Amino acid sequence: MEISITKSNPGNLAGRSDKLAVHMKEEMDRNALESDEDTLEAESFGATTGIINADDPDELDQWARKFQISVQDLKAAIVLHGHKIPDVKKYLSI
């Protein structure tokens, strides 16, 4: 079915495209995604090998900040999956 867009057509669609564009822009602005600049990306913090020394509070704090988790959660991950960085990353889905 084809609709002719003319001034004489009572179902005139002329001008509606502008209103639709404005509406779509408003919806996009209202539903805009928040920036994910502060989210964690696996490649963004180096080490893919090695271990996390659970006996060193400074190292635990450093890795907890890098993984964006608490020190307690990091300790739990180490207890459950070992000290190897790749294993901890895999457990944390990083």
Asked if pLDDT for residue 23 goes beyond 60, the answer is yes
Whole-number Å distance between alpha carbons of 29 and 39: 21
**pLDDT computed for residue 93 by the predictor:** 84
pLDDT band for position 43 (cuts 50, 70, 90): very low
According to the model, what pLDDT value does residue 66 have? 92
Euclidean distance between CA atoms 58 and 85, whole angstroms: 16
pLDDT (tens digit, 9 = 90+) per residue, 71-83?
Answer: 999 999 999 999 9
State the pTM of this model. 0.50
